[in-house]
Amino acid sequence: MRILKKHSTKPERIVYEILKELRLPFKHRWLIRGKEVDFVLGKIVLEIDGHPQDETKNLQLIEMGYVPIHFSNQEIINNREIIKKELLKYVFTN
C-alpha cells in the first residue's frame, strides 16, 4: 500500500533520482504489514535514516524475507556515486 505524503526530504529526492537514473523498478513510501518504508526494490527495503534505526522493524522485515539496508541522510547527500554503487551491489547480489 502506498502512503501519500506531499513532501519528500532532500535525501529521499536524491535516492529517487538515483533509482530512476539506474532504471531500477521501485516503490516509494510503501507499507509492509503496517510498517512504512522509504523504498522497496523487490525484496530489498531501503531506509533513509534521519533518526535512529528501528531494530524491531528490521527484524520483522527480515522475518518476512526482506533485506533492509540503511543509508544516513549525510551519506546520501555527500556520496551520491557511492550510494549508486552500493545500490547496484545490493540489487544484483540479492
pLDDT in tens, 52-83: 678 889 999 999 999 999 999 999 999 999 99
Q: Which domain holds residue 58?
A: 10-93
Helix (H, G, I), strand (E, B) or coil at 35: strand
Q: Is residue 24 part of a domain?
A: yes
CATH of the domain at 44: 3.40.960.10
Is residue 94 over pLDDT 90?
A: no
Are 13 and 36 in contact by the 8 Å Cβ rule? The answer is no
The predicted structure's pLDDT at residue 4? 47
Residue 2 domain flag: no
Closest CA to 21 of 87, 76, 79: 87
Q: What pLDDT is recorded for position 33?
A: 87
Q: What share of the chain is helix, strand, coil (3-state, %, to 5)?
A: 45, 30, 30
Q: pLDDT value at position 5? A: 54
- Predicted local distance difference test score (pLDDT) of residue 82: 92
Instruction: For 10-41, write each residue's pLDDT tens digit.
Output: 999 999 999 999 999 999 989 998 888 999 99
Please give the model's pTM, rounded to 2 decimal places. Answer: 0.84
pLDDT recorded at residue 90: 85
Number of domains in the chain: 1
